[in-house]
Structure formats: C-alpha cells, structure tokens
Amino acid sequence: MTAPDYLLIGHVTADLRQGERVLGGTVSYAAGIAHALGHSVAVLTSCAVDEPLVQPLRSLGALHVIPAEQTTTFENIYEGDQRRQTLHAWANVLYAQDIPQTWLTAPVVHLAPVAAELDASLFAAFPHSTILLTPQGLMRRWDASGVVSFRYWCDAALLRYVSVVVFSRQDVQAMPEIAAQYAAAVPHVVVTDGANGGVYYHDGVPRAYRAYPAHEADPTGAGDVFATTLVAMLGRVGGDVDRALDAAARLAALVVQHHGVYIPSASDIAAAGIAGRVPPANQ
C-alpha cells in the first residue's frame, strides 16, 4: 500500500431507505468526490466482514476494513429541513494502530466520523498532513432505542491538530454558539446552511458565502461533498478560499439532485468551474 493523496477515516454505513439498505456515511460520499477530482483515495473503515455495500468503494481506491459483527446502520427521516435519525447497528472503534503504516504520510487526512467511532489517538497520528474534520458524528449520542440526539463535542486539545472543520447549521441547532468555539480553535471553519449558503471563518473572522439553486432530491451527504471539495480544491487554486468555496457549493448543489452516493462525471466537474480532472498532488 502506498500513501494516498486523500485518506478517509470513518464508518461506512448502511442507510435504510424504503425498506432497502443503501451505501452511506461520510467516507462513502467523500471518496467519490476526491476520486473525481483526481486524487488517489484510501479509506480506513469498520463494517461487517461480508458487507456487500462496500464493493463500489474498492473501485475508487484502497480500502482497509476492520472487521465487525455488523455494519453501522442508520435510518433518516426528513421533515422539511429537520432530520429524525435512528441508529440501528454500530461497527467497531477505529484507532491509530489500525492505519496501514504507509498511509501515515498522506497529504490530506479526512477524519469523517458518523457515530463517535474515532479514537482520540487518530488526531495526533498525522503530524505532516492537512487534517479535515467533519465532526457531526462526534456530536451525536443515542438512547437505548437508537434515537440520535445532539451531544456537545469541541475538544480543544484534539482540535489543535486540525486545519479545517466543516459542519452544518442543522448539526448544531441545539447549541449554535458552538460555532464560535470551533472558530476560536481551528484556523478554517465552515458552517453550511443548505440553500442559504453558509459562513466561513478564517482565524475566527466570519464571512458569508453563497449557495447555488438545486432541485433537491436527497440532502444526505451534501455537507460531506462540500467539505471534501473545499479541501481537495484548496491546493489546486493556490489557496484561494473563495474559489474553493464556490466549487464546493456548486458540487454540493449537484449531488443533492441525486439519490444516494453520487460520483460526479467529468462534465459535472467542469460545470463546477474545474477544468477536467485535476492531477494528483504529487505530480
């Protein structure tokens, strides 16, 4: 195994939709976007050893699975812009010791928890990498019946290893002031707000960015796509955050028009303001 350009760490999920199991989880949405943008991709995850849903990920890059008795399984019910979420099954915790040695030098590492599955050891495991954290899975707890609710998580000791944080306004609607806490701890923070755009904080200073209109079919994964595009593009546009935010907003508007994990085509990428496939970072 060689070091990937873009390493993802988190649970793949089985999402229950109309009686069917479909592939989900931040790593699943993000892997397709990073691959479409020309990055070599690797995923560290945990799921059932015989989980058929992960097969599409194998075509996108390297996949290292920590075997579990079951795959993390969610059911999401949307009512307007509100989501009612239930956790039906949970895989295994992921630790720094689970990372293949050659992956430790990945230029970009995306910590992508969905259900508090990341051990604290992972944050300090990549001293030379740009670390993106999408913390929604750390801000979740669930009761005995699996009903998910908000949990406070903003660990400054761990966030000092992180360069970029992206989460949605809906993720923190129970405690909106947490956005300022993240902005004080991490150099780059984005709070997305769907069709309303969002707010980007640079060293704690906020400024708004716009969204793009879309005929929404499925909002699941839009924030994951946004976050991945933002970080994947920053190095390609000379650190021009405005251009990277614009490309991220365009691709997020595109994927919400499709159900499930959607991998954009070359024409989709071009429409997002990116000229064809972007070469890997080490070329």
φ and ψ of 58, to 5 deg: -65, -25
Query: Which residues are CB-neighbours of 273 under 8 A, at least 6 positions away?
Result: 243, 246, 247, 250
Question: What is the Cα–Cα distance from 11 to 93, expressed in whole angstroms?
Answer: 9
Q: What is the mean pLDDT of residues 22-47?
A: 93
Judged on CB neighbours under 10 Å (0-12, 13-18, 19+), 180 is middle
Query: For residue 185, what pLDDT is reported?
Result: 98
Question: What is the Cα–Cα distance from 271 to 246, expressed in whole angstroms?
Answer: 11
- Check if the beta carbon of residue 230 is closer than 8 Å to that of residue 248: yes
Q: What is the mean pLDDT of residues 15-33?
A: 91
What is the average pLDDT value for the chain, to the nearest integer? 89
Question: What is the Cα–Cα distance from 2 to 263, expressed in whole angstroms?
Answer: 24
Tens-place pLDDT, residues 54-110: 999 999 999 999 999 999 999 988 776 667 899 999 999 999 999 999 999 999 999
Q: Are strands 61-68 and 148-150 parallel, antiparallel or unpaired?
A: unpaired
Instruction: Return the exposure string of 182-219: e unless at least 16 CB atoms fall within 10 Å of the residue's CB, then b.
Output: bbebbebbbbbebeeebbbbeeeeeeebebeebeeebb
Query: For residue 272, what pLDDT is reported?
Result: 64
Query: For residue 278, what pLDDT is reported?
Result: 42
Whole-prediction pTM: 0.90
Q: What is the mean pLDDT of residues 162-181?
A: 95
Tens-place pLDDT, residues 136-150: 999 999 999 999 999
Query: For residue 212, what pLDDT is reported?
Result: 78
Domains and CATH numbers, the chain: 6-271 (3.40.1190.20)
Q: How far is CA 212 from CA 171, 209, 266, in A?
A: 21, 10, 19
